């Protein structure tokens, strides 16, 4: 199936709208102590898709992050990759062969690959799992998902991970319309809150590394309020100070702060890569929430993305459906107000090379309630 795989320079990674598959992201990870590998591969179109007009070669690549989990073992992590998305029937076979082909390029102590797939779930449109309006009712069981993805594979070795690292449900806003139409597609309450933030004097300013303490204070407050994992400040310093302009896949970072009378109320990181603007991280104060600063931030980020020529804006993370009991329901309610279409990713899938070590890893991961790749 795959006719060619070779290692390439990190700076040679192809331009993509998936920031986690760029040279920029590799440099960020290197700054926080994570090695990475870039690999080219090629295959024929007939190995990936049903309907083709000519059976030409398809070239693509992946960024692989190497994560040490102890002194003797490591895993390979592919964030939101591969970008190349075959038709459903070919996906498992493709991942199996890709895993075996790239195995020799990985460290000798690497016992598994974890793909954080941004491919759309294969049950989209199935009335068993979606209602007539296209809203997700439920996802198939893990056993059903594994049977489906391993269809036609030789070893049936693709395992659904117990946890997902990057968001599996997001919202994409189409930016190809004019800015007035983009706002018109929003819910009335969202438009009202954007205008209310302006009336209350919320100002958005572009900040830099000198204001990192403002971000981290708001971020720590948000993490405590929502009981979420707290990244070290060095991680955000790495994002703000990384320049990948000399590579084939750079990214542009905008650190935005919303404030009133110089009092910070909210902040966010907007990253532009390829034709997409992504809301990567956000934080807000528990005080003065009636100023609607987070609405002002998102509107500014959408406008910046539009001005930079982006075709879409990624809201980056919501609950899978309109469920008040879900821990991400608040994000669902907030973000869907801006319009856009909900997209469901397949999430994390593992390909173990050493079954014994993999089972130990799964047990430890379950005990720790997830494995954080920082």
**pLDDT, tens digit, for every residue of 285-317?**
999 999 999 999 999 999 999 999 999 999 999
Going by C-alpha positions, the residue among 141, 22, 168 that lies closest to residue 83 is: 22
The pLDDT-based confidence of 366 (bands split at 50, 70, 90) is confident
DSSP string, 25-36: HHHHHHHTT-EE
Mention every residue, 6+ apart, whose C-beta is less than 8 A from residue 181.
Answer: none
**Main-chain dihedrals φ then ψ at residue 315, nearest 5 degrees:** -75, -20
State phi, psi for 283 to the nearest 5 degrees.
-155, 155
More confident of the two residues 293 and 124: 293
- Distance separating alpha carbons of residues 21 and 80, to the nearest angstrom: 7
CATH topology of domain 2-166+345-367: Aminopeptidase (3.40.630)
Return the domain boundaries, the chain: 2-166+345-367, 170-343
pLDDT confidence of residue 3 = 72
pLDDT at residue number 369: 64
CB 341 within 8 A of CB 133: no
CA 14 to the chain's CA centroid: 17
Q: What is the pTM of this model?
A: 0.94
Q: What percent of the chain has pLDDT over 90?
A: 86
Half-sphere exposure of 96 (CA within 13 A, CB side): 19
Range in 29-33, 119-123, 130-134 the model is least confident about = 130-134
Does residue 56 register a pLDDT over 90?
yes
Closest-CA residue to 1 (of 163, 141, 153) = 153
Q: What is the DSSP string of 87-123?
A: -HHHHHHHHHHHHHHHGGGS-TTEEEEEEEEEEEPTT
Q: Which H/E stretch holds residue 14?
A: none
Q: Please report how the helices 88-102 and 142-149 are oriented relative to each other, as an axis angle in degrees rounded to 10.
A: 80
In SS3 terms, 311-368 reads as CEEECCCCCCCCCCCCCCHHHHHHHHCCCCEEEEEEEEEEEECCHHHHHHHHHHHHHC
CB 165 within 8 A of CB 346: no
The encoded tokens of residue 37 equal 């590998």
pLDDT at 131: 83
Region 229-249 average pLDDT: 96
Given this chain, do its domains 2-166+345-367 and 170-343 carry the same CATH topology?
yes
Assess contact for 47 and 84: CB atoms under 8 A. Answer: no
Q: Please compute Rg for the chain using Cα positions.
A: 21
**What is the C-alpha separation between 325 and 104, in angstroms, rounded?**
45
- Whether residue 18 has pLDDT greater than 50: yes
Q: What are phi and psi of 47, to 5 degrees?
A: -85, -5
Multiple choice CATH, 170-343, 3.90.1150.10, 3.40.630.30, 3.40.190.10, 3.40.50.300: 3.40.630.30
Q: Which residue has the tokens 């910070």?
A: 264
Tokens at residue 213, please? 């303490």
Q: How many CB atoms lie within 10 A of CB 323?
A: 12
């Amino acid at each position: 199936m795959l006719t060619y795989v070779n290692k390439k320079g990190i700076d040679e990674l192809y331009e993509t709208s998936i920031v986690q598959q760029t040279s920029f992201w590799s440099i960020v990870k290197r700054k926080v102590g994570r090695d990475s590998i870039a690999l080219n591969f090629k295959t024929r179109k007939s190995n990936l898709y049903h309907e083709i007009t000519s059976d030409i070669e398809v070239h693509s690549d992946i960024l692989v992050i190497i994560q040490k989990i102890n002194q003797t073992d490591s895993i390979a992590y592919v964030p939101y990759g591969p970008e190349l998305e075959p038709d459903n029937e070919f996906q498992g076979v493709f991942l199996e062969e890709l895993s075996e082909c790239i195995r020799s390029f990985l460290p000798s102590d690497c016992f598994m690959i974890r793909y954080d797939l941004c491919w759309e779930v294969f049950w989209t449109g199935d009335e068993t799992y979606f209602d007539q309006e296209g809203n997700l009712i439920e996802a198939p069981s893990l056993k059903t998902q594994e049977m489906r993805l391993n269809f036609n594979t030789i070893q049936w070795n693709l395992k659904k991970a117990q946890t997902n690292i990057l968001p599996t449900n997001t919202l994409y806003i189409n930016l190809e319309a004019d800015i007035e139409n983009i706002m018109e597609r929003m819910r009335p309450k969202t438009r009202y809150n954007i205008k209310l933030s302006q009336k209350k004097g919320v100002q958005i300013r572009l900040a830099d590394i000198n204001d990192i303490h403002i971000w981290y204070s708001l971020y720590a407050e948000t993490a405590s309020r929502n009981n979420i994992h707290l990244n070290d400040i060095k991680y955000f310093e790495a994002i703000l100070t990384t320049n990948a302009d000399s590579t084939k896949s750079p990214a542009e970072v905008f650190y935005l702060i919303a404030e009133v009378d110089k009092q910070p109320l909210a902040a966010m990181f907007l990253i532009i890569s390829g034709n997409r603007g992504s809301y990567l991280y956000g934080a807000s104060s528990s005080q003065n929430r009636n100023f609607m600063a987070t609405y002002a931030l998102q509107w500014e980020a959408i406008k910046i993305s539009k001005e930079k020529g982006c075709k879409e804006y990624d809201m980056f993370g919501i609950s899978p459906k309109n469920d008040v009991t879900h821990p991400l329901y608040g994000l669902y309610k907030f973000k869907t107000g801006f319009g856009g279409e909900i997209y469901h990713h397949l999430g994390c899938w593992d390909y173990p090379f050493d079954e014994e070590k993999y089972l130990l890893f799964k047990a430890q991961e379950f005990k720790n309630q997830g494995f954080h790749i920082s």
